[in-house]
């Protein structure tokens, strides 16, 4: 009667758990990650759309190691996570939640066929099935054809009744189809998802017709989920990877090791950091990381409209074409420039489409913005120096600096000699076709990449150049010294800016004065308005801006002595002035926007405080009834408070009960040992429960005080983080009640844990009622 191990996960969690994937490709990427992980280590991955018994289905197949019965159980249920690093390769699906959240985002139901060395298994994770049988917990029927227990017979019956496959023979045919397309391997896994998600218009959310070799997201679907933080985009600036699965898969991994085949056609993976033109290496050395982090900058060779930072985490793409710094402004700064960085020091969000919005993240983005602008200026400066009349880089035809091609057999990347046009290579390319004899065989290791340790970042010459009229000797020394500083890498951003400002104040630049100082002014205004993270920097920046302007006027005036050039100089100055005015106008506009945002945020904060008050008053009276609505609300923090109060109440009652039980146990010392054991367990569980609860209560209080104290600009993300922390603690707390729950697998970004907590609370309540009744009966 007092068995605490009662609670299982309720089927509706399958849906809630998948809600963090707002973008459907994010769900598909989870399934690809699973096959890419070292414990599966597939070499190929097939994505297809097929029709089974009149229904559109998505299929995903790999030729990896396949799953044993236990492995499939782990993949389909919520209780386990055993992904560990193999041979130094860290698994991407570290939460072990990828299959569940990904598949259940794409459709209602999934069936998995797998062939490993030892066994052939079929498993089904199906929301329709659970609904139809009225299941109160998540049941996952799995059949292993090597085993024949009663349990397997029941599972087989359920799979045949509720999946599209109606006979055992049909299942065996599907197992036979695993990897039939691949000559080498006999193991692998095949996932079929049916009852695909539909849009509000009743159509599937994918467009399978527009390109028969691709899976695309119709524009109305991806526009609805578009990232609002990025600037307004024209049709040509929307990266193909946002709506074309083929394009997305081509950049999904920084260093692609697995071939992806979409609807029968191989995805041409890109070695993104090698597909750029005018490549330069820079380094980011944040204070919170011991090693400097390489950043590759270059120009997009395909489209000047698609640019920004490609942010990877452990080889996996997290954010694509993230515009930073000067690229966020409505001018040509940073146009066409792509930066590639692997940010293993940041934490991705659960859906792997963003990073947690921490201080580290914000600092990284700021720094990337500065470095990207430096690169852009440097390239422009160099081109101007070579030929002042040259057209801007972004408008020229560009070829990647290096040509790399992947072998179809061993999947190693080979560097081709300059001058080879990769688009003319055959569809299938193998190492034996390599013109370079040193790497002409599949058994030869890949050419080592440039070691990041011994390569200095590129020289930012535009900062050091001088005019002829000035005393060259002094300048040379100055430059040399500054160059040294450069190579040593400047320790902090403040210092770096200081050096730059000296250079600029000295009036060193002339050719690209307008752009440079213009950009600085813009930057300063933004810095000033954005409730800056570095107060100390502000005066410095402002100083630079002012002195720069003054300097321009002085420097340009007297140096234009030649009467022939005079006219053009005046025109130039006029133009420069106009540009400056324009830039200042943009800056003012942006400042106003920020003011508006600030105002809105303050209002939101105010509203939130009001609601918090209202809720805390209302909740005291409110009964702890089961709440129907599961939607995430802005007041999650407050909901917790309510739930905690309930929980605390329950725990108090439980501990009272425990004492009664203990007393009873002592009174009838002769009773069975089992009951005693259960009582002991109960005591332990309750003790840990109370400890956890105290901790959680403290966190809740901290959360509450943050709501009232923290500044409006940060309160959102701070609260979010506290909420995640709180949920993690609740998750740990709940494992004593719900053994099927592995806290490492829970998606803390959505309200799965809230729902579980609520369920447990409701169940505790009914259990108590029962206990009281029984006790009353005994008395
Ligand atoms: Zn090869």
- Cα of 436 from ligand 1 centre, angstroms: 13
SS3 of 605-626: the string is: HHHHHHHHHHHHHHHHHCCCCC
Residue 551 CA to ligand 1 center (angstroms) comes to 59
440 C-alpha to ligand 1 centroid (Å) = 8
Banded pLDDT at 488 (limits 50, 70, 90)? very low
Per-residue pLDDT at 184 exceeds 60: no
- 43, 636, 689, 737 from 733: Cα distances, Å: 40, 18, 6, 8
- Cα of 410 vs centre of ligand 1, distance in Å, is 4
Q: 384-442 pLDDT, tens per residue? A: 888 887 777 777 777 787 888 888 888 888 888 877 777 788 888 999 998 888 899 99
3-state secondary structure of 690: helix
Determine the Cα–Cα distance for residues 151 and 434; give it in Å rounded to an integer: 55
Poorest-pLDDT segment among 91-100, 152-161, 196-205, 750-759: 91-100
Q: How far is the CA of 446 from the centre of ligand 1 (A)?
A: 9
- Give the distance (Å) from ligand 1 centre to CA of residue 340: 26
Q: What is the pLDDT of residue 293?
A: 92
Most confident of 313-322, 330-339, 405-414, 438-447: 313-322
Q: What is the mean pLDDT of residues 489-515?
A: 39
CA of residue 439 to ligand 1 center, whole Å: 9
Distance 429 CA to ligand 1 centre (A): 8
- Asked whether the predicted pLDDT for residue 779 surpasses 50, the reply is yes
Q: How far is the CA of 753 from the centre of ligand 1 (A)?
A: 47
Q: 78 near 100, Cβ under 8 Å?
A: yes
CA of 422 to the centre of ligand 1 (A): 17
Q: What is the mean pLDDT of the chain?
A: 74
Q: Compute, in angstroms, the gap from residue 179 CA to the centroid of ligand 1.
A: 21
Å from CA of 444 to ligand 1 middle: 8
Let me know: does 505 contact 519? Beta carbons within 8 Å: no
DSSP 712-754: HHHHHHHHHHHHHHHHHHHHHHHTTT-TT--GGG--TTTTHHH
Taking the centre of ligand 1 as the mean of its atom positions, its distance from the CA of residue 442, in whole angstroms, is 4
Instruction: Give the per-residue pLDDT at 693.
Output: 65
- Length of the chain, in residues: 779
- Span 266-286, average pLDDT: 86
Distance set, CA 523 to CA 169, 366, 483 (Å): 68, 11, 25
Gap from CA of 90 to ligand 1 centroid (Å): 24
Whether residue 482 has pLDDT greater than 50: no
Centre of ligand 1 to C-alpha 412, Å, is 6
Give tens-digit pLDDT for 340-355.
999 999 999 988 999 9
If we measure between CA atoms, which residue out of 722, 736, 721, 726 comes closest to residue 690? 736
| Helix ranges restricted to H, 421-512 | 472-488, 493-505
| 135's tokens | 């299941």
CA 91 to centroid of ligand 1, rounded, Å: 24
Give residue 750's Cα distance to chain centre: 15
3-state secondary structure of 193: strand
CA distance 39 to 252: 19
Q: 253 C-alpha to center of ligand 1: Å?
A: 19
CA 44 to centroid of ligand 1, rounded, Å: 15
Whether the pLDDT of residue 66 is over 80: the answer is yes
pLDDT band at residue 460 using 50, 70 and 90 as cut-offs: confident
φ/ψ (deg, to 5) at 203? -95, 160
Beta bridge partners of 293: 284
Buried b (16+ CB within 10 A) or exposed e, 584-594: eebbeebeeeb
Give the Å distance between the CA of 434 and the centre of ligand 1: 9
Question: How far apart are alpha carbons 203 and 676 in whole angstroms?
Answer: 59
Q: Which of the two residues, 99 and 630, has the higher pLDDT score? A: 99
Mean pLDDT, to the nearest integer, of 325-330?
88
Q: At what angle do helices 563-621 and 513-529 cross, to 10 degrees?
A: 20
DSSP assignment of 42-68 equals -SEEEEEEEEETTEEEEEEEE-SS---
Residue 226 pLDDT exceeds 90: no
Q: Are the CB atoms for 7 and 760 separated by under 8 Å?
A: yes
Q: Which two tokens stand for residue 197?
A: 């998600």
CA of 445 to the centre of ligand 1 (A): 9
Ligand 1 centre and the CA of 213: distance in Å? 26
Going by CATH, does the domain composed of 12-237 fall within 3.30.750? no
Expressed in angstroms and rounded, the spacing between residue 654 Cα and the centre of ligand 1 is 65
Report whether pLDDT(470) > 70.
no
Give the Å distance between the CA of 564 and the centre of ligand 1: 63
CA quadruple 653, 659, 664, 670: dihedral sign: positive
**How far does residue 177's CA lie from ligand 1's centre (Å)?**
27
Residue 183 has pLDDT above 60, yes or no: no
CA of 114 to the centre of ligand 1 (A): 28
Taking residues 647-670, report their average pLDDT: 65
For residue 735, the CA-to-ligand 1 centroid distance in Å is 48
Highest mean pLDDT among 80-84, 473-477, 581-585: 581-585
- Ligand 1 geometric centre to CA of 432 (Å): 7
CA 274 to ligand 1 centroid distance, Å: 19
Distance 258 CA to ligand 1 centre (A): 13
pLDDT of residue 597: 72
pLDDT score, position 730: 85
Q: Distances from the Cα of 695 to the Cαs of 304, 656, 688, 723, in angstroms? A: 52, 21, 11, 14
Residues 627, 629, 631: CA angle, nearest 5 degrees: 130
* Interval between CA 41 and ligand 1 midpoint (Å): 17
- Inter-helix orientation angle 752-778/636-667, to 10°: 30
Bridge partner residues of 196 (DSSP):
107
C-alpha 215 – ligand 1 centre gap (Å): 29
Neighbour count for residue 214 (Cβ, 10 Å): 21
Question: Residue 430 Cα, ligand 1 centroid: separation in angstroms?
Answer: 5
Per-residue pLDDT, averaged over 124-143, amounts to: 91
Instruction: Pull the structure tokens for residue 556.
Output: 């340009």
> If you average pLDDT over each of 238-252, 605-619, 631-645, which comes out highest?
238-252
Q: Distance (Å, rounded) from C-alpha 432 to C-alpha 407? A: 9
CA of 184 to the centre of ligand 1 (A): 15
CB–CB of 371/284 below 8 Å?
yes
Does the pLDDT of residue 457 top 90, yes or no?
Answer: no
Distance from Cα 315 to the centre of ligand 1, integer Å: 21
**CA-wise closest residue to 186 among 194, 175, 196:** 175
Centre of ligand 1 from the C-alpha of residue 451, in Å? 23
**Per-domain residue ranges of the chain:** 12-237, 271-366+390-436, 466-596, 636-778
- Mean pLDDT of the 142-152 span: 78
Q: Identify how many contiguous H helices and E strands the chain contains and give both numbers.
A: 19, 15
User: Which of the pair, 189 or 389, is modelled with greater confidence?
Assistant: 189
């Amino acid at each position: 009667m007092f068995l605490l191990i009662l609670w299982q996960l309720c089927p509706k969690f399958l849906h809630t758990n998948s809600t963090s994937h707002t973008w459907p490709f994010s769900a598909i990427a989870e399934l690809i990650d699973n096959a890419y992980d070292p414990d599966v280590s597939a070499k190929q991955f097939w994505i297809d759309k097929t029709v089974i018994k009149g229904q559109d289905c998505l299929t995903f197949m790999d030729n990896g190691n396949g799953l044993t019965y236990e492995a499939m159980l782990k993949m389909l249920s919520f209780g386990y996570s055993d992904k560990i690093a193999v041979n130094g390769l860290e698994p991407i699906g570290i939460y072990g939640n990828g299959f569940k959240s990904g598949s259940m985002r794409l459709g209602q139901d999934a069936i998995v066929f797998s062939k490993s060395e030892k066994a052939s298994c079929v498993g089904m994770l199906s929301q329709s099935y659970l609904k139809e049988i009225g299941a109160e917990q998540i049941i996952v029927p799995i059949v292993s054809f090597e085993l024949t227990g009663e349990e397997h017979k029941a599972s087989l019956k359920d799979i045949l009744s509720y999946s599209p496959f109606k006979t055992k023979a049909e299942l065996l045919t599907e197992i036979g189809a695993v990897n039939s397309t691949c000559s080498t391997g006999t193991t692998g896994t095949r996932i079929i998802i049916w009852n695909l998600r539909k849009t509000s218009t009743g159509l599937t959310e994918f467009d399978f017709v527009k390109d028969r070799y691709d899976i695309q997201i119709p524009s109305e679907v991806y526009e609805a989920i578009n990232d609002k933080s990025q600037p307004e985009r024209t049709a040509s600036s929307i990266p193909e990877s946002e709506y074309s699965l083929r394009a997305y898969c081509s950049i999904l991994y920084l260093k692609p090791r697995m071939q992806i085949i979409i609807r029968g056609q191989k995805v041409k993976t890109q070695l993104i950091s090698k597909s750029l033109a005018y490549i330069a290496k820079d380094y980011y050395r944040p204070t919170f990381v011991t090693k400097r982090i390489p950043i590759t900058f270059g120009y997009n060779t395909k489209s000047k409209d698609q640019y920004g930072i490609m942010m990877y985490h452990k080889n996996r793409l997290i954010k694509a074409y993230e515009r930073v710094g000067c690229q966020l402004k409505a001018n040509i700064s940073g146009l066409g420039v792509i930066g590639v960085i692997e940010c293993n020091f940041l934490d991705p969000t659960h859906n792997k489409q963003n990073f947690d919005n921490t201080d580290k993240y914000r600092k990284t983005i700021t720094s990337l913005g500065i470095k990207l602008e430096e690169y852009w200026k440097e390239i422009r400066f160099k081109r101007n120096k070579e030929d002042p009349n040259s057209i801007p880089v972004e408008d020229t035809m560009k070829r990647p600096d290096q040509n790399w091609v992947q072998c179809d057999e061993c999947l190693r990347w080979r560097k081709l000699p300059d001058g080879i046009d990769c688009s003319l290579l055959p569809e299938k390319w193998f190492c034996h076709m390599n013109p370079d004899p040193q790497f002409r065989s599949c058994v030869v290791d890949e050419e080592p990449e440039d070691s990041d340790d011994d390569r200095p970042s590129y020289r930012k010459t535009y900062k050091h150049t001088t005019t002829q009229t000035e005393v060259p000797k002094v300048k040379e020394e100055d430059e040399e010294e500054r160059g040294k500083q450069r190579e040593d890498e400047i320790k902090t951003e403040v210092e770096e800016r200081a050096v730059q400002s000296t250079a600029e104040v000295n009036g060193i630049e002339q050719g690209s004065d307008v752009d440079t100082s213009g950009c600085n002014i813009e930057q300063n205004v933004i810095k000033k308005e954005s409730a800056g993270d570095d107060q100390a920097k502000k005066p410095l920046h402002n100083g630079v801006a002012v002195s720069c302007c003054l300097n321009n006027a002085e420097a340009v005036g007297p140096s234009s002595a030649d009467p022939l050039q005079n006219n053009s100089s005046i025109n130039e100055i006029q133009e420069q002035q106009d540009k400056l005015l324009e830039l200042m106008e943009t800056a003012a506009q942006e400042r106003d926007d920020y003011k508006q945002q600030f105002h809105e945020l303050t209002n939101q904060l105010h509203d939130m405080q009001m609601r918090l008050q209202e809720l805390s008053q209302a909740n005291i009276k409110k009964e702890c009834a089961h709440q129907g609505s599961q939607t995430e609300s802005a007041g999650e923090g407050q909901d917790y408070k309510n739930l905690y109060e309930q929980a605390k109440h329950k725990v108090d009652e439980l501990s009272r009960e425990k004492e009664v039980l203990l007393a009873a146990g002592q009174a009838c010392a002769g009773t069975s040992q089992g009951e005693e054991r259960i009582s002991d367990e109960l005591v332990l569980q309750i003790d840990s429960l109370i400890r956890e609860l105290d901790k959680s209560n403290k966190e809740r209080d901290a959360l509450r005080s943050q709501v009232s104290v923290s500044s409006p600009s940060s309160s959102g993300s701070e609260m979010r983080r506290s909420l995640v922390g709180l949920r993690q603690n609740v998750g740990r707390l709940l494992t004593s009640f719900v053994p099927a729950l592995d806290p490492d697998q829970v998606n803390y970004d959505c309200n799965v844990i809230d729902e579980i907590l609520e369920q447990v609370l409701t169940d505790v309540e009914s259990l108590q009622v029962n206990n009281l009744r029984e006790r009353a009966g005994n008395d």
